A = this chain, B = another copy of it.
Amino acid sequence: MQRLQVIPLLGIPELTKGADLVQLILESMERTGVVAEDGDIFVVKQKAVSKAEGRVVALDEIRPGKKAKALARAQKKDPRLVELILKESVRVVRAGHGVIITETRHGFVCANSGIDQSNVGAGLAALLPVDPDKSSRQIRRGLEGATGKRLAVVVTDTFGRPWRRGQTDVAIGCSGIAPLNPYAGKKDKYGYVLRVTEPAVVDEIAGAAELATGKLTGIPVSLVRGVQYRRSEDGARSLVMQKRRDLFR
C-alpha cells in the first residue's frame, strides 16, 4: 500500500497575463527539491490559471444592467460584480442570504459563477478560465514534454455545497487522469456487487492539495504523489451531472 504525499511547490511568483506556468512550475520544483516521477499529479489553483490567461477584470469597466442592479440590491452586492456573475452563468440556481448560486457556462454550480475578489488586487475580480480542461491539458503537455514523465494536472477552485457549512476545493479542470474511479460491477470480499460507487478522485485530490497549502500562503501549485488512477482525457466537465439525472435542479 503506497503512501500519499502532497508537496507544496515553493516560490512561484505573483502571476500576470501571459505568464508561462509550465516554466514557473519547473523552476519551482527545482527550488523545492523534487524531481518529477511517472504518475505525479500537479494541482494548480484556478486563480493562477485565470491570471496567466488574463481572466482578470477591472470592476470599474463594468456597466451593470437592470437585472444585475435588481439582484445586487436584493442580495446586497456590488452591481458590477453581479453583472459579471450573470454574464458568466447560464442560470441563477438560488439567491438568498447575500449568496448567488449560479450554473456557470461550464455546467458547474457554485457561488458567484466562481468569480472572486480575493488574492487579485483592489477593484479587480478573477473569472474562471474559459476552458479549464484545456488549460489543464496545456500544462500537462508542457510538463510532460519537459520532464519526459507521464503526468496529470488538476485545476481547482473552492466551492461551497448544500447542507454542509464551509467549502472544499474541487476540480474544475483536469487532464491525464480520469475524474471518476468507477467501482460499479466490482465485488467486495463477501461477493456483494457494488452498484453506484464512483469516487470523484479529482475532487479528493483538489481537497488534499488545499489542506497542504491553505488560502493565504501564496502557493498556487502543489504536487500530489502516490494516488492510483487511470489515465483519461474525460476532463472535469464530465463530472457535471446530466440534467435528467439531477434531483436538485
The contact of A240 among B164, B201, B239, by CB within 8 Å, is B164
A161 & B161 in contact (Cβ 8 Å cutoff): yes
Q: Does A61 count as interface, using CB distance less than 8 angstroms?
A: no
Task: Please state the number of chain copies in the assembly.
Answer: 2
A241 & B118 in contact (Cβ 8 Å cutoff): no
Residue of B nearest to A207 (CB): B204
Residue of B nearest to A244 (CB): B97
Q: Does A191 count as interface, using CB distance less than 8 angstroms?
A: yes
Residue of B nearest to A238 (CB): B165
Q: Does A188 count as interface, using CB distance less than 8 angstroms?
A: yes
A118 & B192 in contact (Cβ 8 Å cutoff): yes
> How far in angstroms is the closest Cβ of chain B from A117?
6
Q: In whole angstroms, how far apart are the Cα atoms of A162 and B101 in the complex?
A: 13
- Stretch with Cβ within 8 A of B (4 or more), from A64-72, A78-86, A179-187: A179-187
Q: Does A227 count as interface, using CB distance less than 8 angstroms?
A: yes
Best-surrounded residue of A108, A118, A241 (most CB of chain B within 10 A): A118
B99 & A216 in contact (Cβ 8 Å cutoff): no
B3 & A4 in contact (Cβ 8 Å cutoff): no
> How far in angstroms is the closest Cβ of chain B from A90?
13
Residues A201-249 near B (CB distance < 8 A)? 201, 203-205, 207-208, 210-219, 226-228, 238-241, 245-248
Residues A25-74 near B (CB distance < 8 A)? none
Q: In whole angstroms, how far apart are the Cα atoms of A94 and B212 in the complex?
A: 35
A162 & B247 in contact (Cβ 8 Å cutoff): yes
- Which B residues lie within 8 Å of A155 (CB)? none
Q: Does A22 count as interface, using CB distance less than 8 angstroms?
A: no
A192 & B122 in contact (Cβ 8 Å cutoff): yes
Instruction: List 14 A-B pairs, Cβ < 8 Å.
Output: A1-B10, A1-B212, A6-B208, A109-B164, A118-B197, A122-B191, A162-B246, A163-B241, A164-B239, A167-B198, A168-B199, A188-B216, A204-B211, A212-B226
**Given A6-B226, A166-B198, A208-B208, 9 other A-B residues pairs in contact with their CB atoms under 8 A:** A122-B192, A162-B248, A164-B203, A164-B239, A167-B197, A167-B198, A186-B216, A194-B215, A214-B228
Q: Top 8 nearest A-B pairs by Cβ distance?
A: A166-B200, A204-B207, A162-B248, A208-B208, A4-B6, A109-B163, A4-B212, A94-B247
